[in-house]
Structure 1
């Protein structure tokens, strides 16, 4: 089957949703772990700490040296600009985290209904799913639109 967007499906065989298309031995139970989503901001945090440390060092040097008021004022202004930039970076980071959370919630709303519906009538071994290729393709396209946007 080909998809509208370029997807590497080679790793999808390892996913077990608990149903199969043909009779086979009962699959082994797979433990389910609750997963949490987080954005790794360690690198940004480290850079922020480094910049803050450098700013503090410069301000300490300036405060120790009372001569050269123009230099001290220029350095303080630069420190203020850097602090503003750091605040801006923090705002962008928070915005990205919110955007990622919204996208994950959208993907969740597209995937969970399928999985919940597959749990209905567990006593039945077979699932009648006419036109499943078109239905699944439509959901794949919706998920890709959320995760990759409108472009390819």
Structure 2
């Protein structure tokens, strides 16, 4: 399994609108990649134990990996409407990070980015909230994505 910071670096490098890449969007992009991988392969990309909190699937792991990195930081800025926002940025004088991802990890992230990076934040959040784990589990619960992918498949097969 690749390091979490490698997933973060890959997403950052591939993201076309860096100004839209908030910490929340980074966290939920990794969630979507873990969910897609669980559905397609029966395994998550990361070893994150996802929790469904008040703001959807969330964990501190991603933000802590960014904050502890020597390549990235989270910068307080403002969104289009002037409200505060936390944006993921590469530190000055740091080039593209050497990313060590397996082919299937890159392909999974590419699928998620292709599907979501053009979405406005509200659309993106609606997409995240439309995933089976969020629809089927109560707030406050941990999301076992692999088991939930199996359960969804059983329900689809009826």
Q: TM-score range by the shorter chain?
A: under 0.3
Which one has the bigger helix percentage? 1
Structure with more contact order per residue of length (Cα contacts < 8 Å, sep ≥ 6): 1
> Highest Rg: 1 or 2?
1
Which one has the bigger strand percentage? 2
Instruction: Provide TM-score, normalisation by structure 1.
Output: 0.27
